[in-house]
Amino acid sequence: MVDLINMPQNKNCIGTLIYALQELSLKAERMSQEDRFICFGMVEKEKKMERLQQQMEFIAEVDKLKQIQRQSYLTDGIRKENDAEHSWHLAMMAVFLSEYAKEQVDVLHVISMVLIHDLVEIDAGDTYAYDTEGNKSKREREEKAAERIFHLLPEDQAEKLWELWEEFEENETPEANFANALDRIQPILLNHKSDGKAWEEHQVQLSQILGRNANIEKGAPKLWEYAMESLIKPNIGKAIIDK
């Protein structure tokens, strides 16, 4: 430490500060190589702990995704699913159905995208696919949410996360096409398995489903064919209104 007890007397406040700084810089010059390593090592370690602290705060914060309710019912129709469950289900589909992607895809990239694609809903809430009004303000609400949530992470990861989310939203790359296809087919599967409960609740029309789900064909034509034949057609005129 700087020796403030034996410092020259009669110094004023600024003088004390200057003296202390001079002493410190002299000490730094005299510091052995080993001492320097220890000193820098500690700074490095603190930085790393700060990075990890930020990452863990983000991991704890995204726990809230488990409380964002969606409109689809679980296959048994007892309750609606939440965003975290939905995201897990999409990731499972990415693992086991990647052979049906229209173009060859980087599966890790697809999974990363589906895992994070709904994080903004922690603040912005879930907007039902066929809610015309809600979908108008969706983008603005979601960008604000991304700004807050993504930036809990260290800057480099926040940037990558933002890029990943944007890629999913823009739906232009093969990976985003496939991820979006999965995001559309999963609720259709749940709806079919739960006897079209959510379709009935929202009085969904066939034209709405066809309009919205052209995206499945864009990313996974074989899955679209399957969805049409096995999941949608059996419900037309029943849970799905035929117009």
Binding residues (CB under 8 A) for its own copies: these are 48-49, 52-53, 55-56, 58-60, 62-67, 74-76, 81-82, 84-85, 87-89, 91-93, 95-97, 100, 107-108, 111-112, 115-116, 153, 157, 189-190, 193, 222-223, 226, 230
Per-residue DSSP letter, 74: P
Q: What's phi and psi for 196, nearest 5 deg? A: 65, 25
Rank residues 24 and 60 by Cβ distance to its own copies and give the closer one.
60
CB of 118 to its own copies, least distance (A): 10
**Pairing assessment for the beta strands 80-82 and 69-73 based on DSSP bridges:** antiparallel
Rank residues 18 and 56 by Cβ distance to its own copies and give the closer one.
56
Rank residues 6 and 96 by Cβ distance to its own copies and give the closer one.
96
CB of 134 to its own copies, least distance (A): 24
CB of 53 to its own copies, least distance (A): 7
Alpha carbon distance 101, 97 (integer Å): 8
The tokens describing 186, both together, are: 């999963």
CB of 28 to its own copies, least distance (A): 29
H-assigned helices in 103-228: 107-116, 121-124, 132-150, 155-170, 174-193, 197-201, 206-212, 214-219, 221-226
CB of 154 to its own copies, least distance (A): 10
CB of 24 to its own copies, least distance (A): 29
Q: How many C-beta neighbours within 10 Å does residue 138 have?
A: 16
Rank residues 116 and 124 by Cβ distance to its own copies and give the closer one.
116
Rank residues 23 and 106 by Cβ distance to its own copies and give the closer one.
106
Rank residues 24 and 108 by Cβ distance to its own copies and give the closer one.
108
H-assigned helices in 8-154: 13-30, 33-61, 83-97, 107-116, 121-124, 132-150
The tokens describing 37, both together, are: 């390593």
